[in-house]
Amino acid sequence: MLDAAWIGASSLPSRTLYPHQWSWDSAFMALGRSWYDQSRAQQELETLFRAQWSNGMVPHIVFNPSVAEDAYFPGPAFWQSSTRSPNAPRDVETSGITQPTIHAHAALEMHRHALDPVASGAFLGWLYPRLVAQHRYMLDARRPAGTRLAVMVHPWESGLDNSPAWDRALDDLVIPAGGVPPYVRRDLAHGDPKDRPTNEAYDRFVYLAARYRDSGYDDARLVDVAPFLIAGPMFDGILVLSLTALAEIASIVGADPTPHREDAHEIHAAIIDELWDGPTGRMSALEVTRGERSVEDTIVSFAPLLDPHLSTDVVDAIVRDLRSASFHPDRPDGYVVPSFDLKGVGFDERRYWRGPVWINTNWLLWWGLRQHGQMELAEEIAASSLRLVARTGFHEYFDPFDGRGFGTDSFGWSAALTIDLIERLDPGERRRMNERLAVLP
Ligand code: 9WN
């Protein structure tokens, strides 16, 4: 499947629904592919970082010039990167927003199992200054005055675009007349409207993107031009993970790891101070302009498990929530981890990020749990992921109750992260996993 998604120098998340290169998809796909094709895995990241902006931003989409404008919305004619921003590359069109910084972690892990360590070391040497610029962008441009955490300016930057975690901030948007330019949704040509965001959600997405674009993607004026400024437990949790990986990459390439460790520590401390709520024992997203925390319990609240320095108390509280009936379907053949509280208002087992299980969020939580020695729960998540893809295929997302697949099929990271997960199982886990798969209906 990954080979079929390869288009010469990068991969497509889906040939139909997502016909360009996406940032965090590329990191996931490179990591999975690296177990059997180191060279293409490196090339995937290289292509992405060749489209990096001069201010360090890694765009969330790199457009394929041979794909028609009407194949995906919003395409290059909407973002107009090369003419709107002095920072955007001139030789390739990209979107004007970013996505979670999982790349340093992927690159480090790829290096750890590289069959050709010399080529891998040379690649890391090439990538390191680009990763540094990417993280400087997050820490400098994305921490407007008074903010200790990196903020997102758009739900698409979270990668969990339609999550109820952003509902409050989106509901409060006041969209002026004419604020939403006319547009045609292209996703509905390939996806069932029941699985995709509503038209109302799309209007808000388009309004926010157009407003940021019309400012010339000017981060110096973020507070004025971006009415959605959110620090997220997943966005910032991944930032701690990637800064920690960056420190390790620095040591490998002969640079000084200390500044990256200090940055990781700063974000770690800010997550605890600003996103952690002791009384409820939960992490939540923070709308930074108004200082409001989201009250919805979504899968993003578990992602600080990716922070290696999280204290045992916080890990235990997160694990309690993950084990609760809110995130465990009440039937023995159900699947974890739903993207939204099963009892939450508006939970929807098939709509994009509002309930279904996704392989990448499962993989992130599995990684975080293993890092904190929570092996049993990690194994349950791994087993759910493998049962899902074995039973129904590499769909984009799945019903937590009966495992039905939704969104696009042949979805890149569902395949790639399955490879990574299988490769990392120890012999005992592998045996137990095979036993569970042998009894699949
Ligand atoms: C908008 C490509 C991307 C993923 C995101 C996922 C979805 C795009 C869309 O697809 O978002 O970026 O058109 O819905 O939410 O995480 O990177 O797979």
In this predicted structure, the answer to whether residue 352 has a pLDDT above a threshold of 80 is yes
In this predicted structure, the answer to whether residue 399 has a pLDDT above a threshold of 70 is yes
Residue listed under structure tokens 């309004």: 207
In this predicted structure, the answer to whether residue 441 has a pLDDT above a threshold of 80 is no
The residue to mutate among 11, 12, 18, 67, having the most atoms of ligand 1 within 8 angstroms of its beta carbon, is: 18
pLDDT of 248-287, one tens digit each?
999 999 999 999 999 999 999 999 999 999 999 999 999 9
Q: DSSP states of 14-61 as a string?
A: BTTTB-SEEHHHHHHHHHHHTTT-HHHHHHHHHHHHHT--TTS---SE
In this predicted structure, the answer to whether residue 195 has a pLDDT above a threshold of 80 is yes
- Is the CA virtual torsion 41, 42, 47, 48 positive or negative? positive
How much of the chain, in percent, has pLDDT values that exceed 70?
A: 100
Main-chain phi, psi angles of 338, to 5 degrees:
-60, 150
pLDDT of 1-21, one tens digit each?
999 999 999 999 999 999 999
Rounded distance, CA 210 to CA 218, Å? Answer: 12
pLDDT of 360-395, one tens digit each?
999 999 999 999 999 999 999 999 999 999 999 999
Q: What angle do CA 203, 204, 210 make, to 5 degrees?
A: 90
pLDDT at site 225: 86
pLDDT of 126-177, one tens digit each?
999 999 999 999 999 999 988 999 999 999 999 999 999 999 999 999 999 9
Atom of ligand 1 nearest to the CA of 25: 17
Q: What angle do CA 146, 151, 153 make, to 5 degrees?
A: 120
Check if 13 has its Cβ closer than 6 Å to any atom of ligand 1.
yes
pLDDT of 197-207, one tens digit each?
999 999 999 99
Largest interatomic CA distance in the chain: 61
- Given a contact cutoff of 8 angstroms between Cβ atoms, the answer to whether 397 and 405 are in contact is yes
Question: Which amino acid would we find at residue 227?
Answer: P
**Rounded to the nearest whole angstrom, what is the distance from the C-alpha of residue 24 to the centroid of ligand 1?**
9
Number of other CB atoms surrounding residue 290 within 10 Å = 11
**Rounded to the nearest whole angstrom, what is the distance from the C-alpha of residue 85 to the centroid of ligand 1?**
23
Atom of ligand 1 nearest to the CA of 95: 12
- Given a contact cutoff of 8 angstroms between Cβ atoms, the answer to whether 273 and 314 are in contact is no
Rounded distance, CA 298 to CA 300, Å? Answer: 5
pLDDT at site 145: 84
* Weakest mean pLDDT among 42-46, 223-227, 302-306: 223-227
The residue to mutate among 102, 161, 186, 234, having the most atoms of ligand 1 within 8 angstroms of its beta carbon, is: 161
DSSP 174: -
pLDDT of 417-430, one tens digit each?
999 999 999 999 99
- Given a contact cutoff of 8 angstroms between Cβ atoms, the answer to whether 85 and 53 are in contact is yes
**Rounded to the nearest whole angstrom, what is the distance from the C-alpha of residue 121 to the centroid of ligand 1?**
31
Rounded distance, CA 262 to CA 335, Å? Answer: 38
Cα dihedral angle (313, 322, 351, 105), rounded to 10 degrees? 60
pLDDT at site 363: 98
pLDDT at site 366: 98
**Rounded to the nearest whole angstrom, what is the distance from the C-alpha of residue 261 to the centroid of ligand 1?**
30
Mean pLDDT, to the nearest integer, of 94-123? 98
**Rounded to the nearest whole angstrom, what is the distance from the C-alpha of residue 311 to the centroid of ligand 1?**
32
Check if 156 has its Cβ closer than 6 Å to any atom of ligand 1.
yes
> Comparing C-alpha atoms, which of 414, 413, 408, 412 is closest to residue 192?
408
pLDDT at site 224: 87
Question: Which amino acid would we find at residue 253?
Answer: V
**Rounded to the nearest whole angstrom, what is the distance from the C-alpha of residue 164 to the centroid of ligand 1?**
16
Q: Is 317 helix (H, G, I), strand (E, B) or coil?
A: helix
Cα dihedral angle (57, 60, 64, 67), rounded to 10 degrees? -150
Atom of ligand 1 nearest to the CA of 17: 13
Rounded distance, CA 155 to CA 320, Å? Answer: 27
Atom of ligand 1 nearest to the CA of 360: 16
Rounded distance, CA 356 to CA 335, Å? Answer: 9
Mean pLDDT, to the nearest integer, of 82-91? 98
pLDDT of 23-70, one tens digit each?
999 999 999 999 999 999 999 999 999 999 999 999 999 999 999 999
Tell me what the pLDDT averaged over the chain comes to. 96
In this predicted structure, the answer to whether residue 339 has a pLDDT above a threshold of 80 is yes
In this predicted structure, the answer to whether residue 330 has a pLDDT above a threshold of 90 is no
How much of the chain, in percent, has pLDDT values that exceed 90?
A: 95
> Comparing C-alpha atoms, which of 337, 239, 240, 352 is closest to residue 297?
337
Q: Which residue numbers are catalytic?
A: 161, 396
pLDDT at site 332: 83
Q: What angle do CA 401, 405, 408 make, to 5 degrees?
A: 150
Burial profile 71-99: b = 16 or more Cβ within 10 angstroms, e = fewer: bbbbbbebbebeebbebbbeebbbbbbbb
Q: DSSP states of 227-278 as a string?
A: S--EE-HHHHHHHHHHHHHHHHHHHHHTS--HHHHHHHHHHHHHHHHHHEET
Check if 74 has its Cβ closer than 6 Å to any atom of ligand 1.
no
Atom of ligand 1 nearest to the CA of 13: 18
